[in-house]
Amino acid sequence: MQSKANNSQDLGKGNVSPEASTLKPVSEEEPEQPVEDTSAAQTTLGNVLEAAEELWPKSLAEDWDAVGLVTGRTGQQISKIVMAVDPTLEVIEDAIERGADLLITHHPLLLRGVTQVAGTTFKGEAIHRLIESGTALLTAHTNADSAIGGVNDALADAFGLRDCVPLVESKDGLPEEGLGRVGFLEKPMKLEDFAERVYTVLPAVAGGVRVAGDRSGIIRKVALCGGAGDSLFGAVRSHQADVYVTADLRHHPASEAREAANGGFPYLIDVSHFASEWVWLSAGARALGNVLNDLGHAVEIEVSQVNSDPWDFVLTP
Ligand SMILES: [Zn+2]
């Protein structure tokens, strides 16, 4: 099953397959020298980890997070990578069917300590399927959120924002690195028109997009946070954003933010957690392909087509 929701938007839009790197031509002056095979078959998991660290440094991860390699050996060959939001069994089976040697997911499979990985639980079964099939698993979570060109930058690009800065700067990183983003639309627009843009650029999921605020209110400064962002309301207010786009907004933080705004700014746009992070996959795949190419490796990289948003349908008045 490709997608649980009756999506009007094809999740496959993000498929990428970075161009093969240009191999050095063999010099005519050294015809007798054996030519070293530098084809994609020579790319190891260690090479991919090196490229991933360049893009999504582990040092950018939050203290509570668990990022990095979950299964796999650094010496194993990698010729195909699949990128996805969630390491669900459906995603893993899909990656195995596609012949992936490495699955890169945004969300960790194992965030908290475990005492067993028996196949009697879905996480244990996931570990078994990955190892049995020889598929490595790599997690790029809050490090990918904070990184330049990561989840939040991808979302800001999709929304057409410019002059973006992090909502909360990373403690140890560059000024451009950190959680969330705040930036400006090219031109002021009505809240309902911007909400329409958000709806259009995100993959279609059952929950759609929820908006709090005046439909005709004019906005220019947009704050966003891919995934659950209701802990960043303080930063949204201090940046004086006109609207805040994030996922998983709970009743009390959302309600209190609207009370404090007294009907005005910031307006709120609540989107699917999965959808808000899925947008990064194609940008991340492209960036990884480019870094690998620069390192002399040609690896096929695909974006998972599985919709792992947990919601299946919604009833509205
Ligand atoms: Zn998330």
The answer to whether residues 167 and 100 belong to one domain is no
Q: Give the model's pLDDT for residue 273.
A: 98
The answer to whether residues 239 and 297 belong to one domain is no
Residues (pLDDT < 70) of the chain are: 1-41
The answer to whether residues 154 and 258 belong to one domain is yes
Q: Give the model's pLDDT for residue 218.
A: 98
Going from the Cα of 40 to the center of ligand 1, the distance in angstroms, rounded, reads 31
| pLDDT tens profile 147-191 | 999 999 999 999 999 999 999 999 888 999 999 999 999 999 999
Going from the Cα of 172 to the center of ligand 1, the distance in angstroms, rounded, reads 22
pTM value is 0.87
Q: Give the model's pLDDT for residue 11.
A: 54
Q: Give the model's pLDDT for residue 20.
A: 29
The answer to whether residues 72 and 110 belong to one domain is yes
Going from the Cα of 51 to the center of ligand 1, the distance in angstroms, rounded, reads 22
Going from the Cα of 54 to the center of ligand 1, the distance in angstroms, rounded, reads 21
Residue 187 resides in a domain: yes
Going from the Cα of 23 to the center of ligand 1, the distance in angstroms, rounded, reads 38
Going from the Cα of 226 to the center of ligand 1, the distance in angstroms, rounded, reads 7
Q: Give the model's pLDDT for residue 171.
A: 86
Going from the Cα of 83 to the center of ligand 1, the distance in angstroms, rounded, reads 14
Domain of 109, in residue numbers: 11-22+38-141+277-303
CATH of the domain at 197: 3.40.1390.30
* Secondary structure of 49-95 as H, E, C letters: HHHHHHHCCHHHCCCCCCCEEEECCCCCECCEEEEECCCCHHHHHHH
The count of other CB atoms within 10 Å of the CB of residue 11 is: 21
The answer to whether residues 224 and 283 belong to one domain is no
Residue 97 resides in a domain: yes
Q: Give the model's pLDDT for residue 30.
A: 41
Going from the Cα of 248 to the center of ligand 1, the distance in angstroms, rounded, reads 10
The answer to whether residues 178 and 266 belong to one domain is yes
Going from the Cα of 72 to the center of ligand 1, the distance in angstroms, rounded, reads 23
Which residue matches tokens 């800065």? Answer: 165
Going from the Cα of 222 to the center of ligand 1, the distance in angstroms, rounded, reads 20
Q: How many domains does the chain have?
A: 2
The answer to whether residues 270 and 281 belong to one domain is no
Q: Give the model's pLDDT for residue 172.
A: 82
Going from the Cα of 176 to the center of ligand 1, the distance in angstroms, rounded, reads 20
Say if residues 92 and 126 touch (Cβ distance below 8 Å): yes
Going from the Cα of 278 to the center of ligand 1, the distance in angstroms, rounded, reads 9
Token duo for residue 255: 């309600």
Q: For residue 210, give Cα distances in angstroms to 79, 140, 234.
A: 40, 28, 21
